[in-house]
Amino acid sequence: MTGARALKALIFAAGSVGGLSGAAYGLLTGQSRRARSIIGVPCELPLNADGRYLPDGSGPYPASRDDDSLSFAMLGDSLAAGLGAELPDQLPAARLARGLAEELDRPVRLVTHAISGSRTTDLEQQVDRALIAPPDLAMVIIGGNDVTTRTSIGTSAALLGSQVTRLLEAGTTVVVGTCPDLGIILPIPQPLRTIASRYSLSLARAQRRVLDGLGVPAVSIAALLTPEFLTRPEELFSADRFHPNGKGYEFAANVLLAPLCAAMRVGRVISWSGT
């Protein structure tokens, strides 16, 4: 979902859940309209950097399912797809694949299934595609669009759990980045930004509870990224001021790489601090 559409949906979510008065609803609607005019609408398709990455840092090269690479799949929404990055090698999946190859000292074959605008209800189709050839390792980042489209927090978390379970049953090691804090998006004015933050953090906590029950590492994107993005918004956000830019994704990938490497090395349950 684009920033503009997300804001519009969030207004309806706030009204339906919070029981806003007519005056408060009008205030939030006006704020949303101003924020949408600042954020704008993306007009370019996300980049792609799938392929084979080598331990010497080179790649991507053409890949085959029959080679000896560690197969790594990226699933989720625009954050997983890397919307806002300026170049293919700045995509979070590309940075993670390159980092995994170097840290694990083996080739990594990246396949991206993430699609911008996806909600957790869309994750099933992505998992369907991934399970045609089950990956060794999968990273899932999902939830932001659930917040802005009034998806029930309980329903969203349960859907995530069911799709992660499918990956686990296929032998895939899974690491999940929980819902980011939408309160870091400065074009969203107050009090709308506080509403967005509250919803997103509640969803992240619900996601973590489900993942803990499955023994799946949950990386708190909100806790680990929010301070930097609030401190350095001009440096880490793309032109739409809603998605990270290449440098922002570099910072995020540096945070996500360690849990991915640990999950592959240890091959057991790992618990990471969450919201």
Which residues are marked as active site? 78, 240, 243
Within 13 Å and on the Cβ side, how many CA atoms surround 5?
11
Cα–Cα dist 244/176, whole Å: 18
Contact 99/256 with Cβ under 8 angstroms?
Answer: no
Phi, psi (5° rounding) for residue 267?
70, 30
Residue 171: partners with Cβ closer than 8 Å, 6 or more residues away:
134
What the block records as the tokens of 173 is 């090691």
- For residue 11, the one-letter residue type is I
Sign for the CA dihedral angle at 44, 244, 256, 196 comes to negative
Cα–Cα dist 96/139, whole Å: 10
Residue 74 to residues 32, 157, 187, 203, Cα–Cα distance (Å): 31, 19, 28, 21
Helix (H) or strand (E) holding 45: none
CB count within 10 Å of CB 13 equals 18
- Name the burial class of residue 137, with classes exposed (0-12), middle (13-18) and buried (19+) by CB atoms within 10 angstroms of its CB: buried
Three-class SS state of 119: coil
Residue 90: partners with Cβ closer than 8 Å, 6 or more residues away:
82, 245, 246, 249, 250
